Amino acid sequence: MPSKHRSDALAAIHETAADLHRVGGMDQKTMRKFDALCLTPIQEMTPKKIRALRTREKASQTVFAAYLNVTPSLVSKWERGEKHPQGASLKLLSLVDKKGLEVVA
Amino acid sequence: MPSKHRSDALAAIHETAADLHRVGGMDQKTMRKFDALCLTPIQEMTPKKIRALRTREKASQTVFAAYLNVTPSLVSKWERGEKHPQGASLKLLSLVDKKGLEVVA
DNA sequence: CAGTCTATGGCACTAAGTGCTACACTTTAG
DNA sequence: CTAAAGTGTAGCACTTAGTGCCATAGACTG
């Protein structure tokens, strides 16, 4: 489902990538567009993966939820597959997956 | 609205804080609960603040959205006050606010 | 002028996320 | 032995954040 913004983001990136390459030397600030190329792709988050992630971080659902600024109830639903993290939630989860709970402290 | 999980998280933290203090020496892993005490409180995100944040990072709505894994449409709505970031989105925003766009790359 | 990037705006729709409550299980304390 | 607290599951009613699509308009550039 996250197909539109995914593709149009990639489109924007690829389109501008050529430009940037052509320009050669460029300002760090405008280079933001290029940075998007380096965005770590977000993978699906299965219930198992979420629970594994949380237990890896040795956190209860309540504490884990506090870190992510969501309700404990939601974490439970994620882990039971009742609700599926998406958008910002998914990003946050994969961020924790990659860098650990500390980064979101 | 984020009152329940906020308070019950704080409750859990405060309750256990005493325990932890009493115990004295403790294992890094179980100390997770204590970590929650150090969670940076998330502030309200007004439309102005969001836009200021994005422009500070020199990103277009599209690129900004890509970083947060949301749609450009939503970023626009945030900045116009049509929709209000919450939960994970809010956390992500205040994370960018504090540490910059790079950390979510 | 054509093309691209930018942002706004609206509208229909889905499901993520909240809030609350009750239940069962385990561990710890008294 | 028992009370208390922390843990996770479960369900239900409800709200609104977030998606998707598309049409519009301004700015900038070759």
Residues in A closer than 8 angstroms to B89, CB to CB, are 87-89
Nucleotide nearest to A7 (CA to C1'): D20
Residue with tokens 């039971």: A80
Cβ pair A57:B95 closer than 8 A = no
Nearest by CB to B69, which of A71, A74, A91?
Answer: A91
Model confidence over A32-91: pLDDT tens digits?
Answer: 455 555 788 888 999 999 999 999 999 999 999 999 999 999 999 999 999 999 999 999
Cross-chain Cβ contact A5/B66 below 8 Å: yes
B96 touches chain A (CB under 8 A): no
pLDDT at residue number A2: 44
Q: Is the CB of B86 under 7 A from strand C?
A: yes
Domain boundaries defined on chain A? 8-38, 47-104
Burial group, residue A62, by CB count within 10 angstroms (0-12, 13-18, 19+):
buried
Given pLDDT bands bounded at 50, 70 and 90, which one contains residue A28? very low
Separation CA A74–CA B91 (nearest Å)? 15
Cα angle at B10 between A72 and B14, to 5 degrees?
130
Cβ separation of B72 and A30 shorter than 8 Å? no
Mean pLDDT of all residues in A21-42: 54
Residue A19 pLDDT greater than 80, yes or no: no
* Closest listed residue to residue A104, CA positions, set B69, B95, B87: B95
The Cβ-side half-sphere exposure at A75, using a 13 Å CA radius, reads 25
Residue A26, pLDDT > 80, answer no
**Domain B47-104 fold:** 434 Repressor (Amino-terminal Domain) (1.10.260)
Return the percent helix, strand and coil in chain B, to nearest 5.
Answer: 70, 0, 30
Testing the interface with A: which of B53, B54, B55, B63 to mutate, by most A Cβ within 10 A? B63
DSSP one-letter string for A20-80: HHHH-S--TTTTHHHHGGGPPPPPP--HHHHHHHHHHTT--HHHHHHHHTS-HHHHHHHHH
Pair B72, B62: CB distance under 8 Å: yes
pLDDT of residue A100: 93
Residue B85 confidence (pLDDT) above 50? yes
Distance CA B60, CA B71 (A): 12
Tell me the pLDDT tens digit for each residue of B15-70. Answer: 444 444 444 434 333 444 555 567 888 889 999 999 999 999 999 999 999 999 99
Residue-by-residue DSSP string for B35-86: HGGGPPPPPP--HHHHHHHHHHTT--HHHHHHHHTS-HHHHHHHHHTSS---
Chain A positions in Cβ-Cβ contact with residue B59 (cut-off 8 Å):
32
